[in-house]
Amino acid sequence: MAGIGTEAAIFLYAGLSGMTVFFAYRILGCIRKILPHSSAAVGAEDIIFWTGTSGYLFYCMYSTTYGSIRWFFVLGVVCGCFAAYFSVLLMTKLADRFHVKSKKKLENSDERR
């Protein structure tokens, strides 16, 4: 039986795995926006992506918990996905705020001339 320190390390590793899956799917979504796809192509991409993701998560789980499904690994993956989602949301809000402030500064500097 693994100690609490080992389980915490596995949880953090699972969180990183969840973040990896989230960002990979986000990149796939960006590619879909750049290059429009048909519904059949989107479906095929999703099947390939989720098959690859399941293989990746199985590998991560197998290498850390020797293939046994542990609640803290699953919870770590879910928490990693949520953490990545909220970090992207925060970065988007900060970028929008920065864009608005820089736009106001440019407008103010143009008015002074």
The DSSP result for 82-102, as a single string, is: HHHHHHHHHHHHHHHHHHHHH
Q: How confident is the model at residue 93 (pLDDT cuts 50, 70, 90)?
A: very high
H helix or E strand, kind and range, residue 10: helix 4-34
> Among the ranges 31-40, 67-76, 102-111, which has the highest mean pLDDT value?
31-40
The percentage of residues in the chain with a pLDDT greater than 70, rounded to a whole number, is 95
- To the nearest 10 degrees (0 to 180), the angle between helices 4-34 and 71-112 is 50
pLDDT at 12 over 70: yes
Q: In this structure, which long-range contacts are made by residues 86-92, counting pairs with CB atoms below 8 Å and at least 24 apart in sequence? A: 88/26
pTM: 0.81
pLDDT at res. 110:
64
pLDDT at 21: 97
Distance spanning both ends of the chain, measured CA to CA: 72
Question: Which residue in the block uniquely carries the two structure tokens 């986000």?
Answer: 26
More confident residue, 17 or 110: 17
Is residue 83 within 8 Å of 19, Cβ to Cβ? yes
Q: Return d(Cα 27, Cα 60) in angstroms, integer.
A: 21
